[in-house]
Every structure is written in C-alpha cells, then in structure tokens.
Amino acid sequence: MIKLPFKALNAVVAFVVAAAVLMAFANHTPTSASRTPAASQVVRLAYYEGENGQLAATLDPAQISAADDYNTAALQYRALVIIGTNNKAIPDLASKITHSKDLKTWTFTLRNGLKFSNGDPITSADVVWSIERALAPATNSQVAYYDNLIKGYDAYTGGKASHLSGLKAPNKSTVVVTITKPAAYFLKAFSYPINDVLDKKRLQGKEAGPNNNYLTSTCSGNISDGPFKFKCLNSSSGPGSFYNTGATPVYTLVPNPKFYGPKPKVTIKIPALANTDVGYKDYLAGQVDETGIPSANLAGAKGRSDYHQAPTSTIGYISLSTKLAPFNNVNCRLAIAWGLNRSALMAVIHNASNPLYTILPPGFPSYDKSILSKVPKYNMAKAKSYFAKCPNSSTPVTYWYNTSSADSDHLAEAIVNMMNIVGFKAKASGTTVHDWLHRVNTPLSSTNTQAIRNGWAQDYPDPQDYISLLFRCGNAYDISEWCNSSFDKLVDQADKTGNAKQRTLLYSKAQTIALNAGIPVMYDNGVAHLLISKKVHGLGLYAAWSDIVPKNLDWSTVSVS
C-alpha cells in the first residue's frame, strides 16, 4: 500500500464543502409582509411558460396573435376599449363611447390628461396614426382582419387609399369610427391589441413589418400608456436592451407613473420558461409565483391549497371533411357525433378538461344550455343506427392529430377506439404540430384529410368569433367545406343583432343546425389549472384571459407579502 502525499486534495475537498455550506446559508430567509416595501414587491409571472424558453414572439401590437404576447401587451399598451375580467368590452383610454342608431358610427371620447410614459400627451391623432400604422400594407400585419369592419379597410390595406376612410379624428380628444355593416361584436373586435395606442411622435417612421421588429427588439422604443412600462437596460436594439445577454431571458416591468388609472405597487418579472415541467419545478423551488400544472402532476396538485382552476374559452372538436368519403354523408358524421363518449374521453386526460357538446362553451356570451337536449351526445344505439345508414361505412378512416403531448396521443387513441366501436375502420395518425397546422389551415379535401382534431380559443369574447367565423359557408376557417343556407342566414342575422336575448336565440338555432349535421363534433372545453403563490394577493383566473390578471385589470390591488 502506498501512502498518499496529497494534502492539496484535502484542501479541494474542504473548499467544496465550504462552498456548499456557504450556498446553504446564502439562501436568504423570506421577509415578512410588513417588512416588504412596495418598491421591492416583485411578482414573477409565468406568461411565457411553454414557449421553448423564449419571450414574446412580438411586442408590436400590429403583429400580436399569441395569447402570451396579448397578456404582456395589456401590461404596457392600451386601446380605446379593453376586454374586462367580466368578458365585456369596457372603455379604457376612452371615457365615453356612443354609437349611431344603426350601429354603424361609433364615437370615442378620450379621457382627460392622458399621457404616455415619457410624458407625451395622448391625442386622437395618436389613435388614428396607430391604427393606420397597424393596417398599412407595409406593416404586413397578420391580424389586420380584426379591423375589417372599418369602412375603407379593403382599399387601405390593399394600398389603394392613403388613409382609412372610416377612421377620423375631428378634434384632439375624439375618434370616430365608421363600419361597413351593423355588427354587435364591433367593440369586442376593436379591443384587440392591433388597436393599441402608440406614441406617434416617437414611433413615426418605424415600420412594423416582419423584417422590422423595432418594438420587439428595442426596449426603449416601447413607450407605454398602460399600467406598467419596461425597465430597460439601455437604449440599444437587441435582447440586451431588455435583459443581460447571456442570461436567461426575462422581462422586467415597473409601474408607469403616467398611467391614467390607479398605479400598481409591484414590479413584474416575466421569465422565459421552456415548458410546463420547467415552470412547475421553478414554482416548487420558489422561482416563479404561478405555474401551469403538467397533467401527470394534476391529481397531486389538486389537493394543494394554492391550487386554482377556472373555465376557459378553449374548445376541442373533430373536423370532418364533407368532400371525402365516408364523411361526405351526414349519417356517417352523426354516427361519430353520437358515438363519442365525452366523459370517458376526459377521464383519459385526467379530467384536465370538461366534456363539451355545444360550440360555445359554458359561461361564454350567448351560451345556451337549453340546446343540450337538441344536439348529439353519447348514445351508442343512435350512433349504430346512423352508422347503418352510412353509405361508405367500410371506407378506412384516418384520424389526424398532433403529437404534441402524451395527453394528445391518449385522447386520439381513445377517439379512434370509439369510432371503431361504432363500426368504422379507423386508425389514428399522429403528426407534427407543423403538419397539423397546415392541415387545419386549409380545406380538408385539399390535404386528403377525412377527420382531424381541431380547436379554437377566443380572439374576443363574442359568439361571432366561434360560430360565424369557423363554420359559415365560404369562410377560410370552414375547412370542412360545409355549406348550409339556413345556418348562414341565422348567423348573418345574429352577427348584427344588438339585443342579447335575440342574438342568443339566433346563435342557438344556428348551433343546433350545425351540430346536427356533424359540423363540428364537439368534445372538450379546456380548464385552466394553476398554482398561484399565497404570497401574491389580488391575482385571479378569468375566462377572458389566458393567464392570471387582477380583477377589473386593476393592478393597484396586487401585492406581495
């Protein structure tokens, strides 16, 4: 045996142990509520959970289409109207909204003394300029269509007019919008971030096109008119203006002292979290104040005192091609509609969602539970009877879905099993999100897709965004290529009906027609499951918002103990 001469080794071991002990002690003790000054209260929101470790795809209101970006935009940019936590369009930068009798002319009066975070006054010229900037052909906005009701939209977006004829600023505090047809959903559609108000003086000349991410890449370019403003590291362009390059991406937002409403007391940090698993672990380790819950952990999380759940407007359904056998026959579609055991399907995914039978989910404006008795639900005898009348029932069926998660796989397997129990020769075909997106973005017959998993979440809380947009004959989203004149007449009428009761009645009739044609086959309504730290007060889950926000969007009520 050889005697060891290495004292240095002992020194290394001692160093490692000492470092570990220091780390343990460096883990500072939490401060009590009474000792947390307002300025140091930090809320760490998991808005960007599941975005592959990235932050906003865009911070430019003209380009926002993702829910996470929408939530972030609402912290720093505001429009004339906004969707409140009660799912209604409420005045925001406008203090007063009036409309003509025919619902075609809308007049917005700006609040007194509005200012951007840099002190510039907010005028009607800023409103008009911001909307025209967003809709300008050079901007190439992918969400411009939210404003397609405004008069002159086609000419302006097509480059045939230099201004949007339906948008005027008769004086510094008034904006008048004229729309082409009466539409009960106009205000809600007008609340979309594409109409957020930007500082014309500061941003004029900065294009918003896809090859110019000025606002997304330049922190100081974001001049806020919302409750928060970005805390910028410098005035350069690039990620380094938002956070230290080489560090995990994070946005830091501080209260905007010029905001017209009650001023927030907290600082917000929004880190990029690769996926829900990472967010969940970060939450358990105390690194974020809220998180989604991986479905595998859902059962355990439901027993926690910091567990919260709320309904969402997300719906899941099967789109069937009316041009391809066997679903070019209504009996074949109805055999599926009556053969799906929705409750059993939800059990497959740990009851993370609720079964759904109508196009509009419960709680959504114009949701009408009285039609439940008139639409397909699970009844195997009925399913078999429709199957018996299905002319091409022996045609093999491929059900497409995206393999984005284990839940998605399990759900597809269960759906296909149920199809086969009815009598079909069905198989599931999992595909990538890219391919799936391609298939649900084009008429099903053009991709030879007989049946595919589909889904939708609200752009704004109005039934038109679901029923008319997705299923009216000729609309781009009508990928089943289904046409029914009675349905079309009903939704056209409902879209412009102001009376809420009458509107609900019309949409209910339209839903009954569509669902009894097997267009679509509804099956689930998403439920949001979150853990919210008990240290954070005043934040909640609301169906209109995809992540936590304060009631009435009043951030002054949020605090950290």
Partner 1 sequence: MNNIIAFTIRRLVAMIVVVYLITTIVFFMARLSPYDPITLILGQKSIGNPLAVARLRHLFGLDLPLWRQYLNYLGDLLHGNLGYSEEQGNLGEPVWTILRVGVPVSLKLSALSLLLSLLIGLPVGIISALKQNSLVDHGSQFVTMVAYAVPTFVLAPIAQLIFGVELGWLPVSGWGDPGILGIKEMVLPVGLFALALAGFFAKSMRSFMLEILSQDYIRTARAKGLKQRIIIYLHVVKNTLLPLASIVGPTAATLIVGFFIIENFFAIPGIGNITVQAIVNSDYPVIEATTILLAASVVVVNFLTDIFYAMVDPRVRL
Distance CA 66, CA 255 (A): 24
Is position 235 an interface residue for partner 1 (rule: CB under 8 A)?
no
Tell me if 133 sits within 8 A of 62, measured CB to CB.
yes
Nearer to partner 1 among residue 236 and residue 392 (C-beta): 236
Q: Smallest gap, in angstroms, from Cβ of residue 138 to partner 1?
A: 10
Do the Cβ atoms of 221 and 118 come closer than 8 Å?
no
Q: How far is CA 277 from CA 281, 310, 311, 540, in A?
A: 6, 20, 22, 21
CB-wise, 62 or 336, nearer to partner 1? 62
Q: Applying CB under 8 A, which part among 209-217, 291-299, 319-327, 498-506 lies near partner 1?
A: 209-217
Q: Is 432 in the site for partner 1 (CB under 8 A)?
A: yes
Q: Rg for the chain (alpha carbons), in Å?
A: 26
The reply to whether 249 sits near partner 1 by the rule CB under 8 A is yes
Nearest-angstrom CA–CA distance, 426 and 416: 6
Sign of the four-CA dihedral 374, 379, 385, 391? positive
Print the binding letters for residues 442-481 with partner 1: x by CB under 8 A, - otherwise.
Answer: x---------------------------------xx----
- Please choose, out of 79-87, 276-284, 291-299, 347-355, the segment that lies near partner 1 by the rule CB under 8 A: 276-284
Whichever of 31 and 98 has its CB closer to partner 1, that residue is 31
CA distance readout (Å), 209 to 34, 239, 401, 434: 48, 19, 32, 23
Site for partner 1 in 139-158 (CB under 8 A): 140, 142-143
User: From the CB of 211, what's the least distance to partner 1, in Å?
Assistant: 4
| Backbone phi, psi, residue 128, to 5° | -65, -45
In degrees, rounded to 5, the angle at the alpha carbon of residue 524 between the alpha carbons of residues 519 and 529 is 155
Select from 67, 90, 254, 274 the one that contacts partner 1 (CB under 8 A). Answer: 274
Task: Figure out which of the listed residues 203, 440, 513, 553 binds partner 1, where binding follows CB under 8 A.
Answer: 440
Binding test (CB under 8 A) with partner 1, winner from 33, 39, 210, 296 = 210
Q: Which stretch in 205-213, 253-261, 383-391, 492-500 sits in contact with partner 1 by CB under 8 A?
A: 205-213
**Tokens matching residue 521:** 């086959």
CA distance 281 to 413: 29
Handedness of CA 88, 89, 95, 97 (dihedral sign): negative
Q: Is there binding between residue 194 and partner 1 (CB under 8 A)?
A: no
CA atoms within 13 A on the CB side of 391: 6
Give whichever of 526 and 538 is closer to partner 1, judged by the CB atom: 526
Contact flag: residue 125 with partner 1 (CB under 8 A) = no
Spatial separation of the C-alpha atoms in residues 494 and 487, rounded to whole Å = 11
| Residue 29 sits in the site that holds partner 1 (CB under 8 A) | no
> Is residue 272 part of the contact set for partner 1 (CB under 8 A)?
yes
Q: Does 105 bind partner 1 (CB under 8 A)?
A: no
Cβ contact 213:108 at 8 Å: no
Buried b vs exposed e over 316-353: b needs ≥16 C-beta within 10 Å? bbbbbbbebbbbbbbbbbbbbbbbbbbeebbebbbebb
In the complex, least distance from residue 159 CB atom to partner 1, rounded to whole angstroms:
10
Task: Return residues touching partner 1 (CB under 8 A).
Answer: 1-6, 9, 12, 23-24, 26-27, 52-58, 65, 140, 142-143, 210-213, 216-217, 238-239, 244-249, 271-274, 278, 281-282, 284-287, 432, 434-435, 437-438, 440-442, 476-477
